[in-house]
Structure 1
């Protein structure tokens, strides 16, 4: 970045959450309002020009950082809470620096709090991969609960001949995903950002694969795509509706976990 260039920034302002926080005995066991203001300097200037959500740092990352920090422990100090939030956001590859302001709104006539500024590489986030189940869907399976990514089966429809057969197969799977969404009442996720948000929220979604997998060096087959997605998300297995899945050397090194009682 040159001297004349300034970083693009995203921000979350006046986000108020009630939480049990404080070092004084009078603060323990009772919620008080906290106001959060976050401003993040981004690494890539103008990354949003292609109008794709995966090109930018999603605002959901900021909201999740707050909720995850509050869920992690009870804090005596807003300073510690601010550090935790900063570390969570700066773990994102597009975040270069962050300013975090945390204010108590119920401890005096005004807002009492702290503002910190941290740059990437100067904090050490304590973070583990979020659990997610990647499921190769089959008719008759019960809708999942919790963080789960459903990969649709190939639709039983004639596929047009000619042209880019892999892209046509992916688009057919997108159609199957939207149809399954209507059947199960679950949302569609196409981008990495949407998948990440669903995993953090602990919600099941259905994956329409074309956007993410268009350029992946794998066949446009449901099991290959499910295994590729599991590997990308850090999951070590794929749940499938088959009693004896056959190994395939083309697949990533992902365990195929049969669903008990499911038919092939």
Structure 2
């Protein structure tokens, strides 16, 4: 732990000794020992179970008139810190505390007041002591404008299996390739018998992998169809006129409050909503269907 981090989280007298004269020392807003129960972790034993995380966040803030106006809008509210924690926990299931800390710090620094933020996250249930990470991040220039997650003019299509052998498929893909809009293709499982498991979670993994196998099948038919599995890959594809084919396992299994089961239409509609798509359609075999798409 650095001296500055120790001072940020330590007793007030430690902080006083480490800071410049009071007229130039920034004020600090803090939330300490904020405990939340959440599913997180890179190990298989940490999946499908929750554990307690303890959050301590200290934000150094620019001078404001809040003390004089007594107006909550003139300060960094404690709620902004706890809401940043809640929002990042709700965004997706994460493996690493480091990733979670980074995202919380970024979200807090997107507020107008913070100059620097310290984030400490500790796992309380993974051993005899606390396992944790501590980071310090500094604002670089103006407040960050966070991505709203909405893709302008994105179209999501769910392709039925008979489209794979449709002679019109290449022309359909030609149209998508030449269209300035963003496109993400979803597929269901192929019509083959796959292993069945008695455990529901194991079967869900198998079902999602069936869908991903079919996504790779489409990619083999036409290399313009690029299989993607992460939000970063999806975002890149939408910005670069790529025809993306969604492999759902990671986003679905990591989603907080995401879709249950593995029904292809439920998954595709959930993805369209999550990405802020402007259109959704199910595409079946037949030139008339391909011709009449939006």
Tell me the TM-score normalised to structure 1 length.
0.48
Between the two structures, name the one with larger relative contact order (CA 8 Å, sep ≥ 6): 2
More helix by share: 2
Structure number, greater radius of gyration? 2
